[in-house]
Chains A and B, each alone.
Chain A
Amino acid sequence: MTALLEISGLCKAYPGVVANDDVSFAIQPGEVHALLGENGAGKSTLVKMIYGLVKPDHGTMRLRGAPYAPAEPRAARAAGVAMVFQHFSLFEALSVAENIALGMEDPPKPRDLAARISAVSQAYGLPLDPFRLVGDLSAGERQRVEIIRCLLQDPKLLIMDEPTSVLTPQEVEILFHTLRKLAAEGTAILYISHKLEEIRTLCDAATILRLGRKVGECTPAAVTAAHMAELMVGKSLAQPARAAQAPGAVLLAINGLNLPATSSFGTSLRDVRFSVRAGEILGIGGVAGNGQDELLSVLSGEITTAPDTITLAGAPIGALGPHARREKGVLCAPEERLGHAAAPDMSLTENALLTARIRRGLDQGGFVDWARTREFAQEIITRFDVRTPGTEVVARALSGGNLQKFVIGREILQAPSVLVVNQPTWGVDASAAAAIRQALLDLAQGGAAVIVISQDLDELLEIADRFCALNEGRMSSARDARALSMEEIGLMLGGAHDMAEVVA
C-alpha cells in the first residue's frame, strides 16, 4: 500500500535556528498520526511546509505516490490537505458562513453554503449556527468553524495543530469522537500535540521530534507515556518540589466583582469572588477567553473598580492604579509577554524599569538611575538563568521561555506579597516551565500569596493548593486541588456557575 503522505529529508533553517533537520516519516490513509514534541521542536515549521506556508530548503514530499511541493496553501488544499491552526485563522467581525467561504476555493452561494454547513455540522456532531459572528463564539466553537471549513473541502489529510489546548475535557471527548469518525471514513489525520495521554488514547502512530530532528517513532498505545516523554524531552525533568505548610491569613480578596465587557467581543465578569491566603497558590483554570485577561487587568489595576471590591489584608485597593498596587506589594505578570508584560522593542534594562521603578527605587525625583536599573536587569538575568547576550538586547530578540523567565523574575525579585500570573508557561520549553513553576512554589513557600491563571490543568494540579474555574466570566468556588479528579475539574470548567450549587 502506498502511503498517503511520505516525507523524506525535509530541512528548513532560519537565521540562527535550524527548525527542521532531515525529517522523514509517512502517514497511511485512515491513520491518526501524532507529531509529538516540545515547544520549539520544529512541529509547526514541519506542518507549515506540508501546508505550503513555508518552503523547505531541502527534501521532498510525495502525496499518494506523486511528487508534492505546494507553493501556497491554495495548492495544498487543492491536493486534499487541510489544516486547523492552533491560533485560529478566523475573522471575528465576519460570520461563520463568511469565514468558511474564505477558506474554500469555489464556495457555493451563501444560502447553499449555510445548508451545507448545517449538514456537515450535524453529521459530525459539531453544532454551529452559520450566521453568528465568529467574535461571539467560544474557543471550542471557533475550532468547530475551522474543522468544518476543512471538512467541506473533503480532505484526504487533516492537520490539527494542538487542537485540545483550548478545549474543556468534555469538548475534547466530542472532538475525539469526530476525529475517529473521520479516520474510519479514510481521512488521515496528522495530530500535533505535546500531551502524551491524549496521543495514547487517539493516535495509531507517532513521530517524535526534538530540536528539529526526528528522534523516534512508536505506536502510542503500545508504549508508556514515560517512554514517549523521555524521547520528547531527552532527559527526565525534576518534578517541582513542594513542602506542605499551613496557609496563613487571607491576603487578597475579591468581593463580588462585576465588570462589563470592555470591547465588543470581550467577556464580562459576573459576581466573581475568591480569596487567597499567605503561603498559598490558588490555581484558576479555564479555557482562554473566558475572562482571564479581564481578571488580570482588574487585579493589576489597569482596570479599576469600587474600592471595596478588592481588599489587601482587609484594606480596600480596588480604586488604585497599577503603581499604587505595586507599592502595596500586589504584582502581576500578564499572559502576553510581548506588548503587555514587556515592550518588544525596548532593551531588557528598559523593560526592567517597566514595573520595578518604585519597589526597587530605580529613580530619584523622576530621573531614572540607569546604572541601578541595569544592575537590576542583570540580577534578573543571573538569578533566573535568562539566556541573553546582555542587558541591552531588545525583548523581542529573546525566545519565549527566556523572556517569560525574565518577566516572572522581574516580579519575584521585587518581593511581592501577592503575585498574579496568567499562563506562566504558555509557549515555554519544558525546562524553563519547570524552573518557573519551582520559582512560584518557592515564592509561596516564602509566605507570599500566589494566583496562577492557566489553561494547563496538569500544571495547576501540580502546583496549586486550591483550584477554581473561570467560565464565561463566572468563577466557581475554590476547592482543594489535591482531592480533585480530572472529571470533576472538567465539570467545573464546563459550567463553573452550576457547580457551586451541586457541590454545596
Chain B
Amino acid sequence: MIALEKRPQPARGWVIGAPLLAVVLTMIAGGIMFAALGKDPVGAIRIIFWDPLFSEQFSGYSRPQLLVKAGPLILIAIGLSLGFRAGIWNIGAEGQYIVGALCGAAFGLAFWPSTHPLIFPGMVLAGLLGGVLWAMIPALLRVYARTNEILVSLLLVYVAEAMLASAATGWLRNPEGAGFPGSRNLARHAGTDNPELIAGTGMHWGVLAAFVAVIMAYVIMTRHVLGYQIRLAGQAPRAARFGGVNAGRLVILCMGVSGALAGMAGLFEVAGPAGRISIDFNVGYGFTAIIVAFLGRLNPIGILLAGLLLALTFIGGELAQLMLGIPAPAIQAFQGMLLFFLLALDVLANYRVKLKRRVAA
C-alpha cells in the first residue's frame, strides 16, 4: 500500500525536477495520443520539439517565431504569477489581452494616418490602461463586494470577445476594407507599428517588455517587501493581515499588474504579429499563460523557460498540422496534459512517497 507523508520541508530537487519530468511524461503520453490518431509518435514529437529549432528546412521561419509566440505568453504569465502567489486568481487574462488590444488599436486609429513618434508610446499606454481597466472590474468587485474573482474575470472574457466582434465588424472596421470585418493594418503603417527590432530574431517591443518584466518580477519577489507580502498573503492570509498586509490593496495591485501586462501583450500583438483587429484576433495566449505560470513554478526565471517551451509547442504544433495533418486541437490537449502531469508530480515536492506493508488485522 502506498502512503504519502508530508515532508517537513519541500524537497528542493523536486521543485526543479517535477517540471522536467512532467515535460518528459507529456511527451510520452502525447506520443500515445498521436499514435492513437494514427500518426507516427516519434516523428510527431520530433516535429514539435526539434524541427522548429534545428531542422534546416523550417528553422529559418520557426526560430524567430519562438520569441514572437513566447513574448506575450511570458508577459502575461509574469503578471498572473504575482496574483497566483498571493492567492488571487485572475483567469481572465484573455479578456484583458483583448481589451488592451482594442484600446491600443483604437488610440492608434484615432490619429490615423498620422505618423507622429508619440503615437506608438500612446498606444502602449492605452493598451496597458485597457488591460488594467478590465482587470479592475473583478478586483474591485472582490474587494468591495466579496465577489469571486475567478468567475468574474473568466466571464468577462466572453464579454470582451463580444466587444472584439463588434469592433471588428463595426466601430474599428477598416473603412477602405470593402466591408470585410477587421481593422486597418497597424503593423504596415509607420507610427502605429510594433516592428521587428533585430531582423530575423522575432524580437519586437513586446518581447523586450517581457524580458524587462521577468527581471523586475524577479527583483520584486526576492528582494522587495512587496514580494514578501505577496508570498505571505498566498501562504498564510491570516498571518499576512497580522503582519500588516492590506489584503484589499494587494488584490487591486496584483490584478492591476496582471491586467496591465496582459493589456500590453494584446497591444504589442495587434500592432505587430497580428497586425490588425479581427474577429479571431485572440488565440488563447491568456489561457496558455496560466499553464506557463504554473509550469514555471510561479518563478520569473521558470516562467521565462516555460514560456519558450510552450511557444515551441505552438510552433511545432502548427508544423505538425502542416506535415502530418495532426489536428490543431491536439496541441491544446497536449498543453493541458502538461499541466496535469505537473500538478500530479508536485506531490513529490511536498510529500514523501512511502511503501507501507499492511498491518495484519
Q: Do chains A and B touch in the complex (CB under 8 A)?
A: yes
Binding site for B on A (CB under 8 A): 15, 55, 69, 71, 300-302, 321-323, 326, 332, 334, 336, 339-346, 350, 353-355, 357, 363, 366-368, 370, 393-394, 396-397
User: Provided the pairs A343-B232, A344-B236 are in contact, do residues A354 and B243 lie with their beta carbons within 8 angstroms?
Assistant: yes
List B residues 12-33 near A (Cβ within 8 Å): none
Residue-wise, chain B 223-259 has the 8 Å CB interface mask toward A (1 for contact) of 1111010011001101111111010000000000000
- In the complex, what's the smallest C-beta–C-beta distance from B340 to chain A, in angstroms? 24
Is A354's CB under 8 angstroms from B242's CB? yes
- In the complex, what's the smallest C-beta–C-beta distance from B228 to chain A, in angstroms? 6
Chain A residues contacting B241 (CB-CB under 8 Å) are 302, 322
Is A342's CB under 8 angstroms from B239's CB? yes
- In the complex, what's the smallest C-beta–C-beta distance from B230 to chain A, in angstroms? 12
Is B225's CB under 8 angstroms from A366's CB? yes
In Å, the complex CA distance between A322 and B235 comes to: 19
Instruction: Determine whether B361 belongs to the interface, using a CB cutoff of 8 Å to chain A.
Output: yes
Binding site for A on B (CB under 8 A): 5, 8-10, 223-226, 228, 231-232, 235-236, 238-244, 246, 359, 361
Extra inter-chain contacts (4) besides given A340-B238, A394-B8, CB under 8 Å: A15-B5, A321-B246, A322-B241, A340-B239
Chain B residues contacting A346 (CB-CB under 8 Å) are 231-232, 235-236
User: Provided the pairs A302-B241, A393-B9 are in contact, do residues A339 and B236 lie with their beta carbons within 8 angstroms?
Assistant: yes
Is A367's CB under 8 angstroms from B224's CB? yes
In Å, the complex CA distance between A345 and B10 comes to: 9
Shortest beta-carbon contacts, A-B, top 6: A323-B244, A343-B236, A322-B244, A397-B8, A354-B243, A343-B239
Is A339's CB under 8 angstroms from B361's CB? no
User: Provided the pairs A321-B244, A354-B232 are in contact, do residues A368 and B239 lie with their beta carbons within 8 angstroms?
Assistant: no
In Å, the complex CA distance between A344 and B236 comes to: 7
Interface centre among A69, A354, A397 (most CB of B within 10 A): A354
A-B contact pairs, 22 of them (CB 8 A): A300-B242, A321-B246, A322-B241, A322-B242, A322-B243, A322-B244, A326-B244, A336-B238, A339-B238, A339-B239, A343-B240, A345-B236, A346-B236, A354-B243, A355-B243, A363-B225, A366-B226, A368-B223, A370-B223, A394-B8, A397-B8, A397-B9
Is B242's CB under 8 angstroms from A368's CB? no
In Å, the complex CA distance between A355 and B232 comes to: 12
Chain A residues contacting B228 (CB-CB under 8 Å) are 350, 353, 368
In Å, the complex CA distance between A369 and B361 comes to: 56
Is B235's CB under 8 angstroms from A367's CB? no
Chain B residues contacting A354 (CB-CB under 8 Å) are 232, 239, 242-243
Is B239's CB under 8 angstroms from A55's CB? no
- In the complex, what's the smallest C-beta–C-beta distance from A485 to chain B, in angstroms? 36
In Å, the complex CA distance between A345 and B235 comes to: 7
In Å, the complex CA distance between A3 and B319 comes to: 78
> How many A-B contacts if CB must be within 8 Å?
72
In Å, the complex CA distance between A397 and B5 comes to: 14
In Å, the complex CA distance between A55 and B357 comes to: 12
Which of A55, A69, A366 has a CB less than 8 Å from the CB of B224?
A366
- In the complex, what's the smallest C-beta–C-beta distance from A372 to chain B, in angstroms? 13
- In the complex, what's the smallest C-beta–C-beta distance from A17 to chain B, in angstroms? 12
Chain A residues contacting B225 (CB-CB under 8 Å) are 357, 363, 366-368
Chain B residues contacting A339 (CB-CB under 8 Å) are 236, 238-239
Is B223's CB under 8 angstroms from A302's CB? no
- In the complex, what's the smallest C-beta–C-beta distance from A437 to chain B, in angstroms? 23
Q: Which residue of B lies closest to A332 (CB)?
A: B242
Is A341's CB under 8 angstroms from B244's CB? no
Chain A residues contacting B240 (CB-CB under 8 Å) are 343
Chain B residues contacting A396 (CB-CB under 8 Å) are 8
Is B242's CB under 8 angstroms from A355's CB? yes
Chain A residues contacting B224 (CB-CB under 8 Å) are 366-368
Chain A residues contacting B235 (CB-CB under 8 Å) are 343-346
Interface centre among B231, B238, B361 (most CB of A within 10 A): B238
In Å, the complex CA distance between A364 and B232 comes to: 19
- In the complex, what's the smallest C-beta–C-beta distance from B14 to chain A, in angstroms? 15
Chain A residues contacting B223 (CB-CB under 8 Å) are 367-368, 370
Chain A residues contacting B5 (CB-CB under 8 Å) are 15
Chain B residues contacting A301 (CB-CB under 8 Å) are 244
Chain B residues contacting A355 (CB-CB under 8 Å) are 242-243
Chain A residues contacting B232 (CB-CB under 8 Å) are 343, 346, 354
Q: Which residue of A lies closest to B9 (CB)?
A: A394
Chain B residues contacting A345 (CB-CB under 8 Å) are 10, 235-236
In Å, the complex CA distance between A332 and B264 comes to: 43
Chain A residues contacting B246 (CB-CB under 8 Å) are 321
Chain B residues contacting A393 (CB-CB under 8 Å) are 8-9
Chain B residues contacting A322 (CB-CB under 8 Å) are 241-244
Chain B residues contacting A323 (CB-CB under 8 Å) are 244
Chain B residues contacting A55 (CB-CB under 8 Å) are 359
Q: Which residue of B lies closest to A302 (CB)?
A: B241
Q: Which residue of A lies closest to B232 (CB)?
A: A343
Chain B residues contacting A394 (CB-CB under 8 Å) are 8-9
- In the complex, what's the smallest C-beta–C-beta distance from A503 to chain B, in angstroms? 35
Is A340's CB under 8 angstroms from B242's CB? yes
In Å, the complex CA distance between A367 and B226 comes to: 9
Q: Which residue of A lies closest to B237 (CB)?
A: A339
Chain B residues contacting A341 (CB-CB under 8 Å) are 239, 242
Interface centre among A71, A334, A340, A393 (most CB of B within 10 A): A340
- In the complex, what's the smallest C-beta–C-beta distance from A83 to chain B, in angstroms? 20
- In the complex, what's the smallest C-beta–C-beta distance from B220 to chain A, in angstroms? 10
- In the complex, what's the smallest C-beta–C-beta distance from A167 to chain B, in angstroms? 27
In Å, the complex CA distance between A340 and B224 comes to: 22
Q: Which residue of B lies closest to A16 (CB)?
A: B8
- In the complex, what's the smallest C-beta–C-beta distance from B322 to chain A, in angstroms? 46
Chain B residues contacting A15 (CB-CB under 8 Å) are 5
In Å, the complex CA distance between A18 and B216 comes to: 48
In Å, the complex CA distance between A339 and B9 comes to: 16
Chain B residues contacting A340 (CB-CB under 8 Å) are 236, 238-239, 242
In Å, the complex CA distance between A128 and B235 comes to: 39
Chain B residues contacting A342 (CB-CB under 8 Å) are 236, 239
- In the complex, what's the smallest C-beta–C-beta distance from A266 to chain B, in angstroms? 14
Q: Which residue of B lies closest to A322 (CB)?
A: B244
- In the complex, what's the smallest C-beta–C-beta distance from A186 to chain B, in angstroms? 29
In Å, the complex CA distance between A344 and B10 comes to: 12
- In the complex, what's the smallest C-beta–C-beta distance from A289 to chain B, in angstroms? 17
- In the complex, what's the smallest C-beta–C-beta distance from B239 to chain A, in angstroms? 5
Interface centre among B226, B232, B244, B246 (most CB of A within 10 A): B244
Chain A residues contacting B9 (CB-CB under 8 Å) are 393-394, 397
In Å, the complex CA distance between A321 and B240 comes to: 12
Chain B residues contacting A357 (CB-CB under 8 Å) are 225
In Å, the complex CA distance between A483 and B241 comes to: 39
In Å, the complex CA distance between A342 and B236 comes to: 8
In Å, the complex CA distance between A430 and B239 comes to: 26
Interface centre among B10, B224, B242, B246 (most CB of A within 10 A): B242
